Amino acid sequence: MGTFRVLIVDDEMDFLETIVNRLLKRKIEATGVSSGEAALAVMKEKEFDVVLLDIKMPGGMDGIEVLREIRKNQPLIETILLTGHASVETSIEGLQSGAFDYLIKPVKFSELLEKLIAAFEKKNAQEQKIRGAKIRGIIGFE
């Protein structure tokens, strides 16, 4: 397995730091930012496989808006939404907008890891399909 690069976007600093540190301990290349704007900015500089995205964030952009930007600009990146019990409706909206899955806070770390890995596998499978299609194009076997 190559490196697994995860971006965590959450305005709760304690939560953000805890998750980043726990993922780093598992040798997952974790980066944390605390706003949607910061997420889109860092995604222009660095490559990620999966984004863990809080839905409710104060200020300009909420998670759903960030999700839509990601789907538009980098559709191969998988996104998992983080939500409170109160905003499960929004999670459904998120799934309809192309999120891989969602997690309800408080998040069990084992469940988080499981979903991250499933999202990573999906991204890799998609990339492999694209490579396959390119090869088929090159050798004229379509």
Positions that interact with Mg ion (CB under 5 A):
11, 54, 56
Please write down the HEC assignment for all residues of 108-133.
CHHHHHHHHHHHHHHHHHHHHHHHHH
Minimum CB separation of residue 105 from Mg ion in Å reads 9
Q: Are 84 and 41 in contact (CB under 8 A)?
A: no
Q: State which residue, 31 or 35, has the beta carbon closest to Mg ion.
A: 35
Minimum CB separation of residue 16 from Mg ion in Å reads 10
Question: CA nearest 67: which of 49, 41, 40?
Answer: 40
Minimum CB separation of residue 31 from Mg ion in Å reads 17
Q: State which residue, 22 or 105, has the beta carbon closest to Mg ion.
A: 105
